[in-house]
Structures are given as C-alpha cells and as structure tokens.
Structure 1
Amino acid sequence: MLNTKFFEEMSSKLNEAVANSPARDFEKNARALLAQGFSRLDLVTREEYDVLAQRLEKLEARIAALETTK
C-alpha cells in the first residue's frame, strides 16, 4: 500500500527546495534584465500595432479614393 503522507512530504520538500534554489534567483534576475533591455528599445505592444495598422488601411483607402476622383 502507498504511503500518501510520505509522498506529500516529499513533494512539499521538493517544492521548497526549488523555490529556494539558485535557479529561481537566476530566473528572476534574467527576467529583470530582459525587461530592462526591452524597455530601452522602441517597441510597441501588439494592440498598439493593430490600431496603427487599421489607421494605415483607412488612410490608404482614402488616398486611393482621392486619386480616383482626380
């Protein structure tokens, strides 16, 4: 028969070890470093890009309409 208490204790200890490991610190530091690097770049979000693409399509349609009326 399986001892569920043993497995629960082992799982808890493993989770605690991972949470306190240097790998966790490395992950946090890497994320912070990447976020800092991306903040220095002139990037836009996907939502901003989509809005600008829609505006561009509307402007292109207006220009095409103006060119056909001349």
Structure 2
Amino acid sequence: MIDPKIVDDLARRAAEAAPAGMGELQKDLEKNLRAGLSGLFSRLELVSREEFDIQSAVLARTRSKLDALEKQLAELEDSLRDKSKPS
C-alpha cells in the first residue's frame, strides 16, 4: 500500500498552495485532500515498490522451479518412450 506519509505530504503541499491568510481554509483543504487521496490510492490498489520487488522475486523463483519441473518431465517422457520402443 502507499505510504501514508506520501499522502500527507501531497495534501500539505496542495493546501500550502492556497492563498495566504486563509488558515482555516488551508486546514480544511488539507484534511479533505488527505481523505480524497487516501481513498483514490486505495481504490487503485497500488502497492509499494518494496512489495512489488518481493512479489517479482517470488514469481522469478516460481518460474525457475516450473522450468526445472518441465525439463524433468520431458526427460521422464523421453525415458518412457525409449523403454516402450521395440528392441
């Protein structure tokens, strides 16, 4: 999931862009932006870079194991084919 600090930082920066002297409006704007951005990011089902890298590594290991199993199966099939051929 997206780091809440990023959402807070985005909301704070956007609120600071509001005209000076509108302190209460800035606070409300920041609060509403934080809620809106959090909701948006959760609906987008974004993941952190760390989680993505972990899942990529898991997928690579799984792919490697699958390749090894496919090779082993092909060798077994060849072995069975050789044994079943008439001599």
> Structure 2 length normalisation: TM-score?
0.46
The one-letter amino acid of 2:47's match is V
| Structure 2 residues without counterparts, runs of 5 or longer | 1-19, 75-87
Name the SS for the 2:55 alignment partner.
helix
Map 1:23-62 to 2 at 5 A.
Answer: 23-62=26-65
- With a CA cutoff of 8 Å and minimum separation of 6, indicate the structure with the bigger relative contact order: 2
Matched letter for residue 63 of structure 2: E
- Structure 1: where are the runs of 5+ without partners? 1-16
Root-mean-square deviation over aligned CA pairs: 2.5
Q: How many residues align?
A: 54
Scaled by the length of structure 1, the TM-score of the pair is: 0.54
**SS at the partner of 1:43?**
coil
